[in-house]
Structure 1
Amino acid sequence: MLLLLPPSETKVQGGTGRSLLLGALSFPELTRVRSRVLSALAELSADPEAAARALKLGPKGLGEIAVNRAVRRSATVPAIDRYTGVLYDALDAATLSTSARAFAAEHLVIQSALFGPVGALDPIPGYRLSHSTSLPGVRLTQTWAGPAGAALSAAGGLVVDLRSEGYAALGPLGEPSHSVYVRVVSVDGDGRRRALNHFNKKTKGLFARALVESGVVLESVDELTAWSEGAGFVLTPGAEPGEWDLLVPEAASAPATGAR
């Protein structure tokens, strides 16, 4: 079983681990592609003006270019601890038990634009790159889709895909019967559903945390839906084959009255 998460634009900087070692990352068959994307990022970072445009950086974000220049030699931390933001705040990896982190190491994968799919405890440095960034000579979707999709599909077992569409395109999966693409939607009293943004990320983080903490290896969609119900989540078939809706009551997703 694999649980796939998107990365986040915001990340913890620094680290205590040794510098990047591509061979230490999960899915070693992707090492050549990783090296190619890293080289393209280094080429982009050599031109600060071009890098600022490509990465959509404002004046306060220009330091990210230096972070990218140092990506091969800077310190690392486990991937699950590198990312921050709404989803990862809800996942709250720092408070997971030792057994939950061990389960995550086996079953949780994060889809990076720079490194492709990486394991939860893979040591990675800080960087700035999104799935939509244009790199010199590299189109990320075309570069990653075939190799990363093949690597993920070859892992076998059920795949629970919580990635956003942009990151799912970097590693498309095979038969829907072996994967579940989860969308978070709110539902009102009349049963109408709508996509969410902030609560999409938060709910995915809570769902991922619950699954990692459970330590249960799910082998089928039926087992996933049964587990979800027992864990307090509502998972129902979506509009397309292989898509499932993770429902959030509309009242729970509405901002508090008078919130600032």
Structure 2
Amino acid sequence: MKTIILIPPSEGKADGGKNHPLQSVSSIAADLIEAIKEADPKKLYGLKEKALEKAITVNKELLSSKTMPAIERYTGVVYDAIDYQTLKNKSDFDKKVVIVSGLFGLVRPINLIPNYRLKIDKLKAAKLWVTSNSEQLKDKFVIDLLPQAHKKAVKYDNGIEVEFVLKKAGKKMPAGHQGKHIKGRFVRWLIEKNITDPKHFNDFNEEGYKWTGEIFLKEV
């Protein structure tokens, strides 16, 4: 059974691109692009002033702006920690890793995408994508590193959810921002070590996290 590693996109994205604009988009993406045009920008983006203006401009140019591979477009903490450019086996990463985008659905690292702005909890994007996304995950074993909002956009029969949790004074709490970095490191480790079976997760030992059989836990 083929293994797929699901990760979220990042809000942070590189500008520009050297590749041609999108030639076509799926019907779901097309519907979302139309919904973006009709939405109240302030409610849709939750931004102000220059950041709001940029988001509006970026989405207006969705179908005419240059593209770049998704793995280069996303620039957030998870992606910094993956450090794709220094991976020796990039082809393995490209085959196994799938990004769950609010606008484009399941995106491969090498898929060309423009800059865009759309959170998956806006315009009912997760609900619109869930059937299509889930169909593509049939007969796959899924290693799920998605935040809660993105989990609503996928369903799968075989897989495991991976959470990084802190334990302080006996109380457990989500790893938060720090959790994004360790998720990226974990994805890189999965690819470098060619790990596809959760029974090997206890071999991962970075930043004090230990696999309990259910979660990665760090005592602080």
Fold shared, TM-score > 0.5 on shorter chain: yes
Quick one: structure 1 residues 22 and 205, their matched pair in 2 at CA, closer, same or farther if it must change by over 3 Å? farther
Q: Which residue of 2 aligns with 1:65?
A: 56
SS in 1 for 2:140: coil
Unaligned runs of 5+ in 1: 24-30, 45-49, 238-243, 251-260
Q: Which residue of 1 aligns with 2:27?
A: 32
Q: Which amino acid aligns with 1:174?
A: Y
For the residues of structure 1 that align with 2:47 and 2:183, how far apart are their CA atoms? 27
| 1:217 shift after superposition | 5.5
Q: Which residue of 1 aligns with 2:43?
A: 53
User: Is contact 2:4–2:98 with CA below 8 Å preserved after alignment?
Assistant: yes
Quick one: structure 1 residues 179 and 67, their matched pair in 2 at CA, closer, same or farther if it must change by over 3 Å? same
Q: Which amino acid aligns with 1:245?
A: I
1:224-253 per-residue CA deviation (whole Å, 9 max, x = no partner) reads: 231x2223263224xxxxxx3122342xxx
Count of equivalent residues: 214
| 1:193 shift after superposition | 2.6
1:28-71 per-residue CA deviation (whole Å, 9 max, x = no partner) reads: xxx22222222322444xxxxx2133111111212111110111
Quick one: structure 1 residues 21 and 182, their matched pair in 2 at CA, closer, same or farther if it must change by over 3 Å? farther
| 1:18 partnered with 2:20 | yes
Q: Which residue of 2 aligns with 1:231?
A: 204
Q: Which residue of 2 aligns with 1:120?
A: 109
| 1:141 partnered with 2:120 | no
For the residues of structure 1 that align with 2:47 and 2:108, how far apart are their CA atoms? 28
Q: Which residue of 2 aligns with 1:106?
A: 95
- Aligned-pair identity (%): 29
Q: 1:90 aligns with which of 81, 92, 97?
A: 81
For the residues of structure 2 that align with 1:51 and 1:188, how far apart are their CA atoms? 40
User: Is contact 1:185–1:248 with CA below 8 Å preserved after alignment?
Assistant: yes
For the residues of structure 1 that align with 2:173 and 2:43, how far apart are their CA atoms? 33
1:102-143 per-residue CA deviation (whole Å, 9 max, x = no partner) reads: 112111000000001111111111001001223xxxx22321
| 1:189 shift after superposition | 7.3
SS in 2 for 1:158: strand
User: Is contact 1:79–1:123 with CA below 8 Å preserved after alignment?
Assistant: yes
Q: Which residue of 2 aligns with 1:204?
A: 183
Quick one: structure 1 residues 22 and 247, their matched pair in 2 at CA, closer, same or farther if it must change by over 3 Å? farther
User: Is contact 1:11–1:126 with CA below 8 Å preserved after alignment?
Assistant: yes
For the residues of structure 2 that align with 1:212 and 1:42, how far apart are their CA atoms? 39
Q: 1:158 aligns with which of 112, 126, 141?
A: 141
**TM-score, normalised via structure 2 length:** 0.88
User: Is contact 2:142–2:156 with CA below 8 Å preserved after alignment?
Assistant: no
SS in 2 for 1:20: coil
**TM-score, normalised via structure 1 length:** 0.76
Unaligned runs of 5+ in 2: none
Q: Which residue of 2 aligns with 1:185?
A: 165
SS in 1 for 2:215: strand
User: Is contact 2:8–2:101 with CA below 8 Å preserved after alignment?
Assistant: yes
For the residues of structure 1 that align with 2:84 and 2:37, how far apart are their CA atoms? 30
194-203 vs 108-117, greater mean Cα deviation: 194-203
Quick one: structure 1 residues 231 and 56, their matched pair in 2 at CA, closer, same or farther if it must change by over 3 Å? same
